[in-house]
Amino acid sequence: MRIGELAARAGTTTRALRYYEARGLLPARRDEKGHRAYGEEDLRLLEQIRTLRDFGFELEETRPFVECLRAGHPEGDSCPASLVVYRRKLAELDALIGQLTEVRETVAGQLRRAERARDALAADAPAPGGPEPLCELGGQFS
């Protein structure tokens, strides 16, 4: 298939495919007329790249998975290098979850503090129909 068809089937652009080719992630095969030629295996490579990118992997982190597929493994994540990337990504995610948990706890604490302050102000507020609040300058509002 030609580059436009591959791009359409993969849900990407021809520009992205050329970039992947330049980065060595997509093979650069040519037909007899000099046009780029791709097969179903290239579509599978692109699906693997896209799935990993959707999960937050950097483009270079997809390389071991692509190479694993090219080596003939039915899934791109069964090779040792792919497993290393998975482990590293899990460690990054765990660290981010820890940071987000800390931020969440801080925000929850701020919310509790703000609600207590609001409740304290409400408890000190005059009852409806009561006296007018005093102005900070000592007078009453009229």
Whole domain around residue 108: which residue ranges?
Answer: 3-123
pLDDT tens, 118-129? Answer: 988 888 776 666
Which CATH number fits the domain that encloses residue 118?
1.10.1660.10
Q: How many domains does the chain have?
A: 1
Distance of CA 87 to the CA centre of its chain: 17
Condensed to tens digits (0 to 9), the pLDDT of residues 28-82 reads: 899 899 989 999 999 999 999 999 999 999 999 999 999 999 999 988 899 999 9
pTM summary value: 0.71
Q: In this structure, is residue 136 part of a structural domain?
A: no
